[in-house]
Structure 1
Amino acid sequence: MNQRIEYALASEFGPSSEPVDLKKFAQDVAVLSHSVQNSTGSEVNQTSISEECSVADIHNSLMGIWNSPKLLAYLYRTHDTAIASLHGNTSRLTKTRKKSAAASEPCNELHDVQQLQAKLDAIALLHIVNLTSVRLMPDAALFTRPPRNADYNTLTAIRVSDTDMDTPTDAIDSQVLITLTTHFKVHWRTSVLSKNSQHVLMASQTLGDLFEVMPCVSNEYPEEIVEDDKVIGYKETNGMNGSSGCVIVINDLAYGDALNEEDYADKLVKHLKITKSASTIKKAKTAMHDTPLSSLALQINVPYWLLHQGNCEHFIVVDQIRSKHSEDPVTGYPLTLYRIPASLDWCQACTKIPAVWSIIGDLRLEASPCLLCGPCWKSLGEPTNEGDEVLAVPLPKYKLW
């Protein structure tokens, strides 16, 4: 498949669902949970149901393989070899370089590994299709692609919020969880979207809670040092700064942050009137920090527009709406499930390590701005010409959570 078409498809959402009234959904969940508790009956009945639905035998078998370093390494190696072979076949450089070698069958595997492979070959799927028929065949190369940056997750565990939002956990709305994904426009083509982060919120939390937890590089820009209406330097930042304003548009209603007398929602509606747009967007009666998710009717796979920091646009997509499970975390919402790896620029001097400074107006460098790492900027020393107005702008710092 053409790479341009792949990126275009990745920017599409859908099919969309019907609008889900979260308030009614929470009430239905409460009624259903109450009826299920009453219909379970005695402890003997619950025990029999648990035994009938138990998959302990399958779990023990899988954990036996997972806890064996030899068997686990064998499965990893065969899987990685098959995937590498498929990615080699789909590369655009296939004609100029050797294709990845196909997975070769080992001739002298250990006895435990041979037994595992024999079991895999003998297992029937639904007693009809053998597992050998669902392995990755060479024809699967037509439907695979190498991993992109958005396929990797920088989080190794679910990240909880630093401080719990003031939300009663015993409320009906708190028993409904909403999974949302934020997207942003890539800088090289604004018509293409890339996944940025994924979060889980309780329906009792607000749009403001979502905005506060979602990461964005625009919030990490350094603060300017201004004297006599002139920028003379920048302050280093160690974390995310507060946004200067925000508006979220849901169901043709613009929810502002109410930080100023005329917030982003007012400015958006004013802009639409000036440009004589055919849009029917109106300002909502409540601000985003006063609008719980339970008061909205949301659709799954429909992008909702968000604007902040002047012209930084995001699209928020609802992935899932479900009731809270007993194994879900009790506190710490909003949860962060995914965050895209940061795309770091390399130092233009040594081209070996990521840059941490953007140097502006230095005649000794070939470009302005010029991205440099810490050691290169330190070894360069102070500017030789006193008349040169050189600014060293610190680049955003990223953390691995």
Structure 2
Amino acid sequence: MFFSSETFNCCSLSLSYSSPRCSLNTMASVFPSTITECTDCICLACREFCVWGHSGIPCLGLSGVSIDMLMSSDKEKDPDVIPEDSSLLTLRIRKKALERREETIIVDRACRQETLAYEMESHAIGKRPDNPTDLVEEGELLLTLNIYYPVIFQKHKDHKPYQTVLVLGSQKLTELRDSISCVSDLQIGGEFSSQTDQAPEHISKELYKSAFFYFEGIFYNDKRYPECRDLSRTIIEWSESHDRGYGNLQSVTMEDYTFNDLSLKIGFPYLFCHQGNCEHIIIITDVRLIHHDDCLDRNLYPLLIKKHWLCTRKCFVCKMYTARWVTNKDSLAPEDPCFFCDVCFRMLHYDVEGNKLGEFLAYPYVDPGIFN
């Protein structure tokens, strides 16, 4: 141990040393027969006042303090390591929390979007098909499309794409149409407060299959099924009725066109409409040729590479489970509308025989967070 040059007071005795080895002559004149030299650590021990390693140092006012505690250690304690014999409740709680984190994967909420995007994008990088006929040929056109929330979502309508997909130039527009996921396609229409167990199994996408893309003055309508309607007809008639200056709008079927047949602008907003009036903005952000590091399995396109993560709406009662019912004009609910999980909804609004308790309107609810 190295001692630097310093001066300290010990019981009104001023001692000074400036070398690693203390002067024995100075101490011997004051404390005869009590001074010994420790050859291992080159220091002095005053046997009358302190014993090396375990006694206190009363002359310095440090009664009960070990000399080892005053010695500097080359190895500093890790602040992240919690002592085993700690009596603090907060440390014990933190230790359990750290052990739980090691057992389960917890992603910081601020990083969830980036983590999810990385996982989705890296899932298909460089993937080759099992069947050689499904291999994407060299020189194939690859487009990157951002699909935005419906315009009714004021918070996200301008800047939050909830899907980013890669499509091949040789793919039909119908393939992109089928790959777009929207919560309105999963809705169940109707009011079911009197017959909650008889809610239909058919979702809106199966009942209302009509949809169209709008690219550069042309409506590309989905007419693959007999029940499909031309949703663009009303718009075209409205535009032509008073010569509103939109030019000659055309209507064609989307199943007859691929992306290679279109004339598109990068960064220009286009439109996708389905369910009658659910409108999404589509923006093409990149057009390039495919290379060997891309996914070369044609069956995986349109390839979803990014999806916006959404918080799910919890049940108003239990605050645990995702809501499955929404009520209006509910005399038993503190809010209008109010959201409930299936268990809480039935326990609050019906008796053991299934009869309604009070007046309310009940609708099946599909949470947008299901796409997470």
Could you state the TM-score of these two structures normalised by the residue count of structure 1? 0.52
1:391 aligns with 2:358: no
- Unmatched 5+ stretches in structure 2: 1-74, 79-108
Q: Which residue of 2 aligns with 1:289?
A: 255
Does the 8 A contact of 1:179 with 1:201 survive in 2? Answer: yes
Q: Which residue of 2 aligns with 1:205?
A: 171
Q: Which residue of 2 aligns with 1:325?
A: 291
Q: Which residue of 1 aligns with 2:245?
A: 278
Amino acid at match of 1:327: D
Find the aligned partners of 1:380 and 1:273 in 2 and give their Cα distance.
Answer: 54
Q: Secondary structure at the residue paired with 2:236?
A: helix
What's the CA shift for 1:355?
Answer: 2.0
What is the aligned counterpart of 1:269 among 236, 240, 253?
236
Higher relative contact order (CA 8 A, sep 6+): 1
Q: Secondary structure at the residue paired with 1:300?
A: coil
Q: Which residue of 1 aligns with 2:334?
A: 366
Note the 1:220-369 alignment, pairs <5 A: 220-224=186-190, 234-235=199-200, 241=206, 243-258=208-223, 259=225, 262-274=229-241, 276-280=243-247, 282-284=249-251, 286-331=252-297, 332-369=300-337
Q: Which residue of 1 aligns with 2:350?
A: 382
Q: Which residue of 1 aligns with 2:101?
A: none
Amino acid at match of 2:273: L
- CA distance 1:385–1:399, change in 2 (3 Å): closer
What's the CA shift for 1:271?
Answer: 2.8
Note the 1:168-183 alignment, pairs <5 A: 169=134, 175-183=140-148
- CA distance 1:181–1:171, change in 2 (3 Å): same
Find the aligned partners of 1:289 and 1:282 in 2 and give their Cα distance.
Answer: 19
Amino acid at match of 1:302: F
- CA distance 1:279–1:291, change in 2 (3 Å): same
Find the aligned partners of 1:191 and 1:199 in 2 and give their Cα distance.
Answer: 18
Could you state the TM-score of these two structures normalised by the residue count of structure 2? 0.55
Q: How many residues align?
A: 250
What's the CA shift for 1:300?
Answer: 1.3
- CA distance 1:295–1:272, change in 2 (3 Å): same
Q: Secondary structure at the residue paired with 1:305?
A: strand
Q: Which residue of 2 aligns with 1:124?
A: none
> Is the helix fraction higher in 1 or 2?
1
Find the aligned partners of 2:201 and 2:326 in 1 and give their Cα distance.
Answer: 12
- CA distance 1:305–1:261, change in 2 (3 Å): closer
Amino acid at match of 2:362: L
Find the aligned partners of 2:362 and 2:111 in 1 and give their Cα distance.
Answer: 35
Residues 125-151 of structure 1: per-residue CA shift (max 9 Å, x gap):
xxxxxxxxxxxxxxxxxxxxx969976
What's the CA shift for 1:302?
Answer: 1.2
What's the CA shift for 1:317?
Answer: 1.1
- CA distance 1:358–1:169, change in 2 (3 Å): same
Q: Secondary structure at the residue paired with 1:255?
A: strand
Does the 8 A contact of 2:323 with 2:367 survive in 1? Answer: no
What's the CA shift for 1:358?
Answer: 1.0
Amino acid at match of 1:271: W
Find the aligned partners of 1:320 and 1:274 in 2 and give their Cα distance.
Answer: 37
Find the aligned partners of 1:249 and 1:327 in 2 and give their Cα distance.
Answer: 32
* Larger CA Rg, structure 1 vs 2: 2
Does the 8 A contact of 2:189 with 2:204 survive in 1? Answer: no
- CA distance 1:314–1:377, change in 2 (3 Å): same
Does the 8 A contact of 1:174 with 1:202 survive in 2? Answer: no
Amino acid at match of 1:290: D
Find the aligned partners of 2:191 and 2:356 in 1 and give their Cα distance.
Answer: 22
Find the aligned partners of 2:326 and 2:218 in 1 and give their Cα distance.
Answer: 40
What is the aligned counterpart of 1:192 among 147, 155, 158?
158
Q: Which residue of 2 aligns with 1:29?
A: none
What's the CA shift for 1:209?
Answer: 1.0
Find the aligned partners of 1:361 and 1:341 in 2 and give their Cα distance.
Answer: 31
Q: Which residue of 2 aligns with 1:81?
A: none
